[in-house]
């Protein structure tokens, strides 16, 4: 559960406990009020019963006295006296009705008995006063049966009301004690739960912050493999822990990428260092040949003797070959520099690819003869004229033939060409029967400054730029190059180029 949810639950719990306390207080007040009202009604009912009993007794004495006077003197009542007596009877009746309103279910039956006997008694007294002035009064008011019955019911009602008053008082005391206990218990429970929730929150936040502190210290110290535990957590602190873990993972990936980039840079620097060493060797070899043969020719000329034309022609041929070899090397370096700086331009033109292949093969004939290799052809049908950069096309084929010749001795080199089924691309394959390559060696041959093996440059020579330039030129012309090889069997390089090169406006 998140910290926010924990706080909300804690506040709601405390509010609920406060509501319970307030509710208990109001419930206790209501119960006390109801009990007090019932107690007050019981006391008032007792007082009213005593008053009714006194009024009944006074009224009976008055009736008995008037009955005696009627028999002895025959005096009559005045209208005012008669009305006052009837008013007293009506007052007694109203008080009895008031007593009924103060009665409860427990005293209802006793009250009904009282009311019935009281109504009969008051009716008798009302008829007595109503017919008092007549000659003969046929009402037996001296019979105490109704009066005694009414007093008996009134006494029974008074006893029940007294009992109810005592019970109400007891209920009030019990209610006060119960509400006090509930209030104290709720208060103590509120304090305990508040302390418990506060302790849980402090423990949770303290434990989470300790994990975060430990994680930040270890991550800050460089231990990027450490992860803050957030699997069983949710909420803001868990999100913060996951953010630290993500940051640590990203830092580890960034450091790994930097380390990998450093290793690649070191490898590139090592490759370039090897390349510079190879270039210096490759440059010195033709330069030494050019200088050496030039000095030999110079000495023959200075001797004044007859010059051997055949020997001179052979030396000049070697000088030209070394110069072309040197020029090729320099051109490769310059071409690679142009590609890396984006300064290499394309000049498309239309030409016959078969004628260009034969021209390149003828120029490579001396090198093939030196290695004892035989040139074979595998042109599949007539090829259409293509529209692409002829210079780069010749450089691709030249580099492939030179590479095949370098690693083949007394073997064969086959040039094949054809057009794809869609008539939109041509393909040129250069296959040799040389030393071949393994899959691992095959994966490095198109990298700049790299060769299949480190020992290749010392054994066969070269700078490792030829195949890389072939791939770059092929892709610049909208095609690609693929290689396959088998150790001790030979290698095959297939170049595919579009028949019509379409340049982007930026490259045009």
Tokens representing residue 491 in the block = 């290698």
Which of 109-123, 160-174, 213-227, 261-275 shows the highest mean pLDDT? 109-123
3-class secondary structure per residue, 365-388: HHHHHHHCCEEEEEECCCCCCEEE
Closest CA to 89 of 121, 111, 136, 66: 121
Question: 490-498 and 425-432: which strand pairing?
Answer: antiparallel
Helix segments in 221-308, DSSP class H: 236-303
pLDDT tier at 490, thresholds 50, 70, 90: very high
* 218 CB-near residues (< 8 Å, 6+ apart): 226
Query: 10 Å Cβ neighbour count for 344?
Result: 18
Which DSSP string corresponds to 151-187?
Answer: HHHHHHHHHHHHHHHHHHHHHHHHHHHHHHHHHHHHH
Is the per-residue pLDDT at 165 higher than 80? Answer: no
Which DSSP string corresponds to 337-365?
Answer: HHHHHT-----EEEE-HHHHHHHHHHHTH
Distance CA 471, CA 325 (A): 21
- Mean pLDDT, residues 286-305: 76
Length of the chain counted residue by residue = 508
Which of 15-19, 56-60, 93-97 has the weakest average pLDDT? 15-19
Tokens representing residue 369 in the block = 């003869």
* Dihedrals phi, psi of 389, to nearest 5 degrees: -80, 110
Residue with tokens 């989470």: 208
Is the per-residue pLDDT at 189 higher than 70? Answer: yes
Would you state the pLDDT for residue 420? Answer: 87
How far, CA to CA in Å, does 213 sit from each of 3, 228, 474?
Answer: 17, 10, 57
Would you state the pLDDT for residue 498? Answer: 93
As a whole number, the mean pLDDT across the chain is: 80
Decide: residue 309, CB within 10 A, 0-12 exposed, 13-18 middle, 19+ buried: exposed
How far, CA to CA in Å, does 301 sit from each of 291, 297, 305, 306?
Answer: 15, 6, 7, 8
Residue with the bigger pLDDT between 59 and 210: it is 59
Distance CA 393, CA 375 (A): 19
- Mean pLDDT, residues 75-91: 86
Query: 10 Å Cβ neighbour count for 90?
Result: 12
Is the per-residue pLDDT at 412 higher than 90? Answer: yes
Would you state the pLDDT for residue 387? Answer: 93
Would you state the pLDDT for residue 481? Answer: 94
Tokens representing residue 484 in the block = 């396959």
Is the per-residue pLDDT at 47 higher than 60? Answer: yes
Answer yes or no: are the C-beta atoms of 14 and 193 closer than 8 Å: yes
Packing angle of the helix pair 3-72, 108-130 (nearest 10 deg): 30
Which of 12-16, 223-227, 339-343 shows the highest mean pLDDT? 12-16
* 431 CB-near residues (< 8 Å, 6+ apart): 404, 413, 414, 416, 490, 491, 492, 493
Distance CA 311, CA 313 (A): 5
Is the per-residue pLDDT at 435 higher than 70? Answer: yes
Tokens representing residue 386 in the block = 């293509």
**Residues paired with 349 in a beta bridge:** 388
Which DSSP string corresponds to 118-130?
Answer: HHHHHHHHHHHHH
pLDDT digits (tens, 9 = 90+) for 209-240: 777 777 777 777 777 677 777 655 666 666 67
Would you state the pLDDT for residue 78? Answer: 83
Would you state the pLDDT for residue 27? Answer: 73
Would you state the pLDDT for residue 496? Answer: 94
Which of 33-42, 64-73, 117-126 has the weakest average pLDDT? 33-42
**Residues paired with 388 in a beta bridge:** 349
Residue with the bigger pLDDT between 338 and 445: it is 445
Is the per-residue pLDDT at 271 higher than 80? Answer: no
| 451, 453, 454, 459 alpha-carbon torsion, rounded to 10° | -90
H or E element that contains 460: helix 454-460
Which of 152-166, 219-233, 395-409, 472-486 has the weakest average pLDDT? 219-233
pLDDT digits (tens, 9 = 90+) for 376-398: 999 887 889 999 999 889 989 98
Which of 172-176, 199-203, 281-285, 388-392 shows the highest mean pLDDT? 388-392
Is the per-residue pLDDT at 249 higher than 80? Answer: no
Would you state the pLDDT for residue 336? Answer: 67
Is the per-residue pLDDT at 457 higher than 70? Answer: no
Would you state the pLDDT for residue 417? Answer: 94
* 467 CB-near residues (< 8 Å, 6+ apart): 399, 403, 445, 446, 483, 493
Distance CA 123, CA 49 (A): 19
Residue with the bigger pLDDT between 105 and 483: it is 483
Is the per-residue pLDDT at 375 higher than 60? Answer: yes
pLDDT tier at 349, thresholds 50, 70, 90: very high
Which of 67-81, 209-223, 282-296 shows the highest mean pLDDT? 67-81
Is the per-residue pLDDT at 311 higher than 70? Answer: yes
H or E element that contains 492: strand 490-498
Would you state the pLDDT for residue 493? Answer: 95
Would you state the pLDDT for residue 207? Answer: 74
Is the per-residue pLDDT at 478 higher than 80? Answer: yes
Would you state the pLDDT for residue 302? Answer: 78
Answer yes or no: are the C-beta atoms of 301 and 311 closer than 8 Å: no
Residue with the bigger pLDDT between 247 and 458: it is 247
pTM (two decimals)? 0.45
How far, CA to CA in Å, does 281 sit from each of 33, 72, 271, 367?
Answer: 116, 174, 15, 19
Distance CA 182, CA 411 (A): 110
Tokens representing residue 76 in the block = 């009559």
Residue with the bigger pLDDT between 482 and 31: it is 482
Distance CA 300, CA 287 (A): 20
- Mean pLDDT, residues 142-155: 86
């Amino acid at each position: 559960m998140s910290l926010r949810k924990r706080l909300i639950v804690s506040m709601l719990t405390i509010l609920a406990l406060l509501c319970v306390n307030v509710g208990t207080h109001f419930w206790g007040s209501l119960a006390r009020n109801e009990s007090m009202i019932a107690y007050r009604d019981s006391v008032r009912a007792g007082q009213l019963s005593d008053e009714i009993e006194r009024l009944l007794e006074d009224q009976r004495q008055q009736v008995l006295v008037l009955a005696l006077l009627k028999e002895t003197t025959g005096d009559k009542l005045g209208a005012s006296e008669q009305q006052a007596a009837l008013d007293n009877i009506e007052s007694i009746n109203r008080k009895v009705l008031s007593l009924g309103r103060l009665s409860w279910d427990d005293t209802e039956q006793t009250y009904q008995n009282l009311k019935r006997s009281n109504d009969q008694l008051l009716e008798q007294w009302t008829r007595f006063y109503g017919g008092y002035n007549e000659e003969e009064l046929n009402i037996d008011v001296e019979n105490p049966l109704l009066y005694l019955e009414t007093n008996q019911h009134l006494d029974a009602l008074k006893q029940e009301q007294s009992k109810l008053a005592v019970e109400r008082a007891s209920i009030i005391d019990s209610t006060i004690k119960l509400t006090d206990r509930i209030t104290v218990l709720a208060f103590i429970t509120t304090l305990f739960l508040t302390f418990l929730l506060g302790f849980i929150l402090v423990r949770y936040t303290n434990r989470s912050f300790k994990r975060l502190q430990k994680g930040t210290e270890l991550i800050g110290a460089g231990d990027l493999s450490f992860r803050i535990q957030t699997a069983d957590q949710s909420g803001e602190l868990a999100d913060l822990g996951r953010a630290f873990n993500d940051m640590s993972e990203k830092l580890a990936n960034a450091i790994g990428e930097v380390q990998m980039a450093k290793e690649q840079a070191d490898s590139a620097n090592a490759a370039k260092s090897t390349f510079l060493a190879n270039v210096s060797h490759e440059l010195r070899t033709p330069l030494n040949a050019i200088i050496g043969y030039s000095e030999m020719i110079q000495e023959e000329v200075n001797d004044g003797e007859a010059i051997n034309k055949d020997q001179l022609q052979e030396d000049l041929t070697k000088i030209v070959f070394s110069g072309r070899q040197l020029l090729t090397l320099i051109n490769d370096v310059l071409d690679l520099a142009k590609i890396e700086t984006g300064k290499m331009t394309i000049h498309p033109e239309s030409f016959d690819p078969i004628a260009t292949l034969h021209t390149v093969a003828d120029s490579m004939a001396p090198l093939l003869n030196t290695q004892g290799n035989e040139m074979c052809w595998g042109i599949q049908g007539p090829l259409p004229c293509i529209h692409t950069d002829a210079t780069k096309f010749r450089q691709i084929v030249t580099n492939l033939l030179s590479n095949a010749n370098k690693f083949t001795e007394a073997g064969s080199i086959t040039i094949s060409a054809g057009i794809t089924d869609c008539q939109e691309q041509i393909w040129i394959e250069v296959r040799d029967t040389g030393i071949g390559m393994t899959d691992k060696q095959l994966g490095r041959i198109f990298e700049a400054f790299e060769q299949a093996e480190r020992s290749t440059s010392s054994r066969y020579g070269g700078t490792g730029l030829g195949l890389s330039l072939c791939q770059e030129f092929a892709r610049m012309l909208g095609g690609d190059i693929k290689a396959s090889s088998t150790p001790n069997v030979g290698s095959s390089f297939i170049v595919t180029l579009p028949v019509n090169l379409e340049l982007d406006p930026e490259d045009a």
